[in-house]
Structure 1
């Protein structure tokens, strides 16, 4: 089996507290994730370890529904969510570090082991995730730097 492990980074000209607070709220996902079309909570808000929410996404021409569970949440440092269902179980990690002049370095990591046809297409899938992550982080940067 081939593991997909994609890491993307960006520097956002906003304080770490603002970037982390915005990014860890699943209700904001449709604003900055290009492929996520809707979010449905399965547990009460806000996100805490154990919280679950379902994303409906359009990726590589397919509509995907997957439920994430928050596995780790250390405010303004780390946010980890995992999904075990479907053809591509995945772990998504956000990391934040202070940068110079009140900027924030955000790291977005997606990793998992796709199965079936997704597994055969792992190299293509990794490139598509890398491209989508770059777009998503650029969109997040644009929203937050504009005061969004």
Structure 2
């Protein structure tokens, strides 16, 4: 299931990438994320691990992830290793001067009871990711 969302942000790509790769910032722009952190030490790159704790509909879910592709300032992709949703995600920043085309990638497969939601899960996920990238745009364009 593809839940990818893209938006133009009026900030340089380096600013956008640096912000989204600071994982604790997820709580400021990602829907339902109440905690996010790295679980590995060392510089960010392939093999870096972390988690997000999300609260939605009265439930708390923890998903762990591992970075499998990383190009500083341009992209990061990860696998969702545990939690109710499996698949891959990523951030891509394509710069053009002081503007960035930001893409939040999400290719997921719900497990457990989430699988039963099927198309409803897809619509909700796409809408949520579109809202999230819009929130990121607003946040970054109004922060110096």
**Are residue 139 (structure 1) and residue 135 (structure 2) matched?**
yes
With the length of structure 2 as denominator, give the TM-score of the two structures: 0.90
**Are residue 33 (structure 1) and residue 9 (structure 2) matched?**
no
Q: How does 1:6-25 map to 2 (within 5 A)?
A: 6-25=3-22
**What's the counterpart of residue 116 of structure 2?**
120
Is 2:3–2:108's contact at 8 Å kept on the other side of the alignment?
A: no
**What's the counterpart of residue 70 of structure 2?**
73
Question: Which shows bigger deviation, 18-27 or 79-88?
Answer: 79-88
CA distance 1:16–1:128, shift in 2 (3 Å): same
Deviations 1:7-63 (A, max 9, x none): 211000000111111111112111111211012331125422111112110234421
Counterpart Cα distance in 2 of 1:40 and 1:104: 25
Q: Specify the SS of the correspondent of 1:132.
A: helix
Runs of 5+ consecutive residues of structure 1 not aligned to the other structure: none
Aligned residue pair count: 144
Counterpart Cα distance in 2 of 1:34 and 1:87: 16
Counterpart Cα distance in 2 of 1:124 and 1:68: 24
Match of 1:64 among 42, 61, 72: 61
Q: Specify the SS of the correspondent of 2:137.
A: helix
Stretches of 4+ aligned residues off by more than 6 angstroms: none
Q: CA RMSD in A?
A: 1.7
With the length of structure 1 as denominator, give the TM-score of the two structures: 0.88
